[in-house]
Amino acid sequence: MEPVIQVSELVKRYRKAERNAVDGVSFAVEPGSFFALLGPNGAGKTTTISVLTTTLRPTSGQLRVAGHDLLREPDAVRRQLGIIFQKPSLDLNLTAEENVRLHAVLYGLYPMRPAYRLMPAGYRAQVQHLAEVLGIAGEMSQPVRTFSGGMRRKLEIVRSLIHEPRVLFLDEPTTGLDPASRRDLWAYLKAVRQRGGTTVFLTTHYIEEAEAADRICVIHRGRVVSLGSTDEVKADLVEDYVSIDAEDGAALAAELEGLGARFAPDPELGGFRVAVKGAGIHPLLAAVRTPLTRVRTHTPTLEEAYLEILERS
């Protein structure tokens, strides 16, 4: 099956910049999958998503989105996308529903007619459903200028989903949302993917949101430093280890050294941290003859892998 997003050697360099903002980035996203792009500030995340959504022209590279060449067919690409950018893009003088209606008309879902005051039943049902999911159904007739920042964010999410896009780009989508709204949004997006096969492309600072991704791409200084499943990214950036201790610490250290183990003092618990991979902990413990007073295994989290990138910067 052809990837819904195919990026090959993407480069973006801004005028007078000392280095490329995006420097040879390549990845593919499968249809209906959940793909997360992670990296510290300045890594190139927003530049990459801006190129993929046709709001920024690449310096070089080959890109295909939803079956269309991004450079030759930008209009066809745009019709397949839903986008939630970091910065709000709502018309504050319109009501919430009017903002959604304008978006639907611009995407060609309904004709632009001055006398067309009553939108189709399907549109009204979709707006009502999405607004209820995000918790703003009672405010859809209110002017957007009266909305709080969190409510405006929710409205942007409603607007981005109204035309049931093939690819939904989310650039820090839950910024300003309370925990309950974040939970409801992700539950709905999961249902959207399962029902209609919508592909979700996410950039976020909430690492736990990326934990559920099918594939993760970590970029740093404009380059890919890790690409794969959550487990593959964690294994690529940080190690599993077992924390062990003994009353005779010197004897334990000498034995670990004799076994060729990679170990270091445990700064939190005392004793030693010994690097292990997968089932390697069992042969290690079986080989140690010094009586142990503590054994504690540690499997790294995605957040630890992400923090490793921040420390490298």
DSSP collapsed to 3 states, 260-310: CCCEEECCCCCCEEEEECHHHHHHHHHHCCCCCCEEEEECCCHHHHHHHHH
Which sequence spans correspond to the domains of the chain?
A: 238-312
Domain 238-312 has CATH 3.40.640: no
Using CA of residue 5, residue 9, residue 14, residue 15, what is the dihedral sign? negative
Q: Which two tokens stand for residue 150?
A: 């969190």
The backbone torsions φ and ψ at residue 83, rounded to the nearest 5 degrees and listed phi first, read -140, 135
Please give the span between the terminal C-alpha atoms of the chain, in angstroms, as a whole number.
Answer: 37
Using CA of residue 268, residue 274, residue 275, residue 278, what is the dihedral sign? negative
- Give me the average pLDDT of each 10-residue run along the chain (313 residues): 94 91 96 92 89 94 95 92 83 93 80 60 88 89 90 87 88 77 78 82 84 91 91 78 93 93 90 82 90 89 78 66
Cβ-count burial 88-112 (b if 16+ within 10 Å, e if not): eebeeeebbbebbbebbeeeebeee
Q: Which two tokens stand for residue 236?
A: 């690529």
d(CA 165, CA 125): 17
Entry field: residues in the chain: 313
Task: Enter the pTM of the model.
Answer: 0.78
Q: Which two tokens stand for residue 42?
A: 């300045």
